[in-house]
């Protein structure tokens, strides 16, 4: 299969290892990966702030680039939700409405694609650490992704997964983190405390943006817990 | 910045840094979640129950006109006096006029968020009436001259010690901080008031169109005493409280108790169908029911967000909301706080003045998941943002997105932006977290990740 991999702007600029891991995993599974270089951002920041025209300016070339893809795989639940769930809403009533619906049908979040499209869970990874998994809210509640990353982690050799007692937002929320920094920080601190209670060495997530927020708090507070993307864990040997 | 926004931001900053309160609220709501989940298990299928409840509410709200007519006809047939109030001001005047006609002095009240919405106590006290809240939580916040902290748990922000100290100061009596002792103190005050009150005032949880009944749910028995003892009873409710059939309560009563408090059923569930009838030995001689619009019909006219009128005020969305948990109820500055408050307040009190509540969300969707009547809460926050930005775009914010669009759409600019970030990041250390730090909103409490020399796209290009 030819997979069109959409690497979110965060991953491109700040967490290239997560994106590289996705490419390597998909290629190892025998798929052809293409990565349109013109795509930078899905347009979620202006969309979530209510600026739909500005969001369409960014999203239109993305949609056109993804138009004839066999399968679109996005390395983030948040950007995945944007394309899969919110593009049809953003483009409703425009000449791109049908294209947005079509692309949404062929779009997958990375872990969902592995488990539910390719039917793969075992990737031969080995990660001898105690980890906990953070569900990014968009992946969890907009796309209903919860079992998929756990099915993948269950097959990682020597990995011990300890769940947090509460499912809660990390407090990132895009521009929310800058508009309401103290609320965002408080939410992140609650998240970090929940993760620390598990005794995990690593917090794993499908969303690098959540991890950026969590890691930003952990390192400022000198906490030992580390963060790592799911793709990187799955790409270990 | 409007005063509502600056008040919100100031209080949110203060409250979200209060670690004692954070831990206290987190612990108590954790207890709620465990109880709620256990009770959800008693439903054969909670998700199907939610769907059924949502459909019943759609039916009620989409045919509100006929249901209200039926409700009123049935109520009036048994001698209830029904009043229609378009605004809070009208409702206050109707109530005040009844009190004047009755030459009332003391009014005992059971819990009613609609009365908070129209600022009833304040208006009545200004006219010289004495108003006593009989719900224990409401009684406590009334003694503190505060608004309820939460729509279901008005005094959840207070510890037992806080309440003991308050009773000691205001009532001169607080033997200990145990719930039993504190309740007995409140009860001794309250029992006298029930006997001497001229008018009993209640809210409503549901109104049954089919039978013309008002359903009131409570845990303390105070609403029953409020309704039964005084000669005159007044009930104020929003027009969205209507349910089509009596049998709908079979779903809604356990659902409200489960979602709201993790209870199988609330302790007392009473249906009122009229004042004292000939031959009956108790109940009020006169019953006035006031149906309040107060811009609910404007929400009804909004096809996209009409389902916000499904709200049964259970508070489930507040309980799970990470914003509410961290900033607390008073910070919102509104009668209805939490996610549902952030959705409806812009409709009830003006979009531009209250849009900040819709912005103050990470859009995590925990509220929508928790809502027993399936209100699409977090998407309504997005719609409020869209409507607010379309009506009055913020100049600099829109400009920033326009510039971002130009950079994101041109690979050369995008590449340059990343390289500039990588080159300038080492210099950032000098200003990090200070007033001149361009990223200070982030860096005051959080570190930024180091920018890699080779971005993903560099890697992709190089390997080709």
- pLDDT tens readout for residues B68-87: 999 999 999 999 999 999 99
Same fold, A2-117 and A130-234: yes
Q: Mean per-residue pLDDT for B104-112? A: 97
Q: Mean per-residue pLDDT for A51-76? A: 96
Residues of A in contact with B392 (CB under 8 A): none
Q: Mean per-residue pLDDT for B278-299? A: 95
Locate the domains of chain B by residue range: 1-41+314-392, 57-294, 396-463
Q: Mean per-residue pLDDT for A192-200? A: 96
Q: Is A98 left (phi over 0), alpha (psi -120 to 50) or beta?
A: alpha
Considering only CB atoms, B409 lies closest to which of A37, A58, A176, namely: A58
Residues of B in contact with A55 (CB under 8 A): 401
pLDDT band at B2 (very low <50, low <70, confident <90, very high): confident
Q: Mean per-residue pLDDT for A96-111? A: 97
> Percentage of residues in chain A with pLDDT exceeding 70?
100
At residue B282, the pLDDT reads: 87
pLDDT band at B439 (very low <50, low <70, confident <90, very high): confident
CA B33 to chain centre: 18
Q: Mean per-residue pLDDT for B318-334? A: 96
Q: Give the count of beta carbons closer than 10 Å to the beta carbon of residue A33.
A: 18
Mutate to test the interface with B, among A43, A49, A55, A110 (most CBs of B within 10 A): A49
Q: What pLDDT, in 10s, does the model give residues B127-141?
A: 999 999 999 999 999
Written as six digits, the tokens of A103 are: 């692309």
Burial class (CB in 10 A: 0-12, 13-18, 19+), B47: exposed
Rounded to a whole number of angstroms, the distance from the CA of A207 to the nearest CA of chain B is: 13
| pLDDT over 80 at B433, yes or no | no
Q: Mean per-residue pLDDT for B278-304? A: 96
Architecture in CATH of B57-294: 3-Layer(aba) Sandwich (3.40)
B401/A137 touch (CB, cutoff 8 Å), yes or no: no
Considering only CB atoms, B388 lies closest to which of A50, A52, A172, namely: A50
| pLDDT over 80 at B464, yes or no | no
Considering only CB atoms, A220 lies closest to which of B385, B389, B445, namely: B445
CATH class of the domain whose range is A130-234 = alpha beta
DSSP letters, A71-108, are EEEES-HHHHHIIIIIHHHHTTTSTTHHHHHHHHHTEE
Locate the domains of chain A by residue range: 2-117, 130-234
User: Closest chain B residue to A210 measured between Cα atoms?
Assistant: B362
At residue B434, the pLDDT reads: 82
ipTM of the modeled complex? 0.96
Exposure string over B122-141, b if 16+ CB within 10 A, otherwise e: ebbeeeebebbbbbbbbbbb
3-state helix, strand, coil in chain A (%, to 5): 50, 15, 35
Considering only CB atoms, A177 lies closest to which of B368, B421, B442, namely: B442
A2-117 adopts what CATH topology? Rossmann fold (3.40.50)
A20/B456 touch (CB, cutoff 8 Å), yes or no: yes
> Percentage of residues in chain B with pLDDT exceeding 90?
91
The H or E element spanning position A226 is strand A226-229
A46/B401 touch (CB, cutoff 8 Å), yes or no: yes
Q: What pLDDT, in 10s, does the model give residues B184-225?
A: 999 999 999 999 999 999 999 999 999 999 999 999 999 999
Average pLDDT, chain B: 95
Q: Is B100 left (phi over 0), alpha (psi -120 to 50) or beta?
A: alpha
Helix/strand/coil for A157: strand
Q: Distance (Å, rounded) from C-alpha A158 to C-alpha A161?
A: 10
Q: Give the count of beta carbons closer than 10 Å to the beta carbon of residue A163.
A: 12
Q: Mean per-residue pLDDT for B46-54? A: 98
Q: Mean per-residue pLDDT for B296-302? A: 96
At residue B1, the pLDDT reads: 61
């Amino acid at each position: 299969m030819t997979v069109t991999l959409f690497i979110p702007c965060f991953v491109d600029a700040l967490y290239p290892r997560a994106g590289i891991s996705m490419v390597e995993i998909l290629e190892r599974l025998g798929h052809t990966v293409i990565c349109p270089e013109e795509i930078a951002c899905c347009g979620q920041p202006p969309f979530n702030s209510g600026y739909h025209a500005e969001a369409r300016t960014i999203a239109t070339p993305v949609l056109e680039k993804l138009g004839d893809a066999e399968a679109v795989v996005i390395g983030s639940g948040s950007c995945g939700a944007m394309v899969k769930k919110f593009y049809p809403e953003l483009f409703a009533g425009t000449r791109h409405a049908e294209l947005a619906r079509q692309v949404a049908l062929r779009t997958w979040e990375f872990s969902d694609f592995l488990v539910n499209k390719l039917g793969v869970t075992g990737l031969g990874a080995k990660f001898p650490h105690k980890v906990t998994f953070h569900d990014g809210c968009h992946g969890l509640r907009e796309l209903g992704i919860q079992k998929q990353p756990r099915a993948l982690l269950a097959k990682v050799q020597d990995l011990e997964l300890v769940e947090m007692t509460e499912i809660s937002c990390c407090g990132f929320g895009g521009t929310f983190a800058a508009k309401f920094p103290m609320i965002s920080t408080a939410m992140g601190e609650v998240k970090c405390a929940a993760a620390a209670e598990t005794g995990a060495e690593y917090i794993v997530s499908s969303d690098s943006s959540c991890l950026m927020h969590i890691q930003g708090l952990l390192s400022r507070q000198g906490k030992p817990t580390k963060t790592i993307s799911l793709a990187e864990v799955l790409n270990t040997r | 910045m409007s005063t509502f926004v600056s008040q919100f931001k100031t209080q949110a900053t203060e409250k979200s840094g209060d670690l004692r309160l954070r831990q206290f609220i987190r612990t108590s709501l954790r207890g709620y979640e465990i109880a709620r989940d256990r009770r959800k298990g008693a439903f054969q299928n909670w998700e199907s129950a939610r769907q059924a409840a949502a459909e019943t509410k759609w039916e009620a709200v989409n045919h509100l006109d006929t249901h209200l007519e039926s409700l009123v006809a049935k109520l009036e047939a048994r001698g209830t006096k029904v009043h229609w109030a378009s605004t809070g001001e009208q409702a206050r005047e109707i109530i005040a006029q009844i009190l004047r006609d009755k030459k009332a002095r003391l009014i005992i009240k059971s819990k009613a968020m609609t009365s908070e919405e129209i600022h009833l106590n304040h208006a009545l006290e200004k006219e010289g009436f004495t108003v006593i809240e009989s719900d224990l939580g409401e009684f406590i916040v009334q003694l503190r001259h505060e608004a309820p902290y939460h729509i279901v748990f008005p005094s959840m922000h207070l510890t037992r010690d806080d309440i003991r100290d308050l009773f000691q100061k205001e009532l001169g009596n607080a033997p200990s901080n145990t719930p039993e002792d504190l309740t007995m103190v409140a009860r001794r005050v309250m029992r006298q008031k029930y006997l001497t009150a001229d008018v009993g005032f209640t809210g409503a949880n549901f109104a049954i169109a089919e039978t013309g009944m008002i359903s009131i749910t409570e845990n303390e028995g105070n609403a029953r005493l409020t309704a039964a003892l005084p000669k005159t009873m007044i009930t104020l409710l929003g027009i969205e409280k209507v349910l089509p059939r009596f049998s709908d309560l079979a779903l809604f009563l356990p659902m409200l108790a489960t979602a709201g408090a993790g209870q199988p059923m609330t302790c007392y569930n009473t249906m009122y169908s009229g004042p004292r009838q000939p031959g009956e030995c108790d109940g009020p001689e006169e019953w006035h029911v006031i149906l309040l619009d107060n811009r609910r019909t404007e929400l009804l006219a909004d096809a996209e967000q009409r389902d916000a009128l499904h709200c049964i005020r259970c508070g489930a969305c507040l309980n799970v909301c990470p914003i509410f948990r961290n900033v607390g109820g008073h910070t919102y500055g509104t009668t209805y706080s939490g996610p549902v408050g952030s959705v409806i307040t812009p409709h009830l009190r003006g979009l531009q003045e209250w849009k900040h509540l819709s912005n103050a969300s990470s859009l995590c969707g925990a509220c929508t998941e928790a809502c027993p009547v399936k209100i699409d809460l977090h998407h309504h926050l997005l719609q409020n943002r869209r409507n607010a930005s379309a009506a009055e775009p913020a100049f600099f914010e829109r400009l920033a997105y326009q510039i971002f669009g130009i950079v994101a759409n041109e690979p050369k600019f995008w590449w340059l932006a990343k390289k500039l970030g990588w080159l300038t990041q080492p210099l950032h250390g000098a200003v990090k977290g200070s007033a001149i730090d361009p990223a200070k909103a982030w860096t005051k409490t959080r570190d930024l990740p180091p920018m890699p020399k080779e971005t993903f796209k560099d890697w992709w290009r190089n390997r080709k």
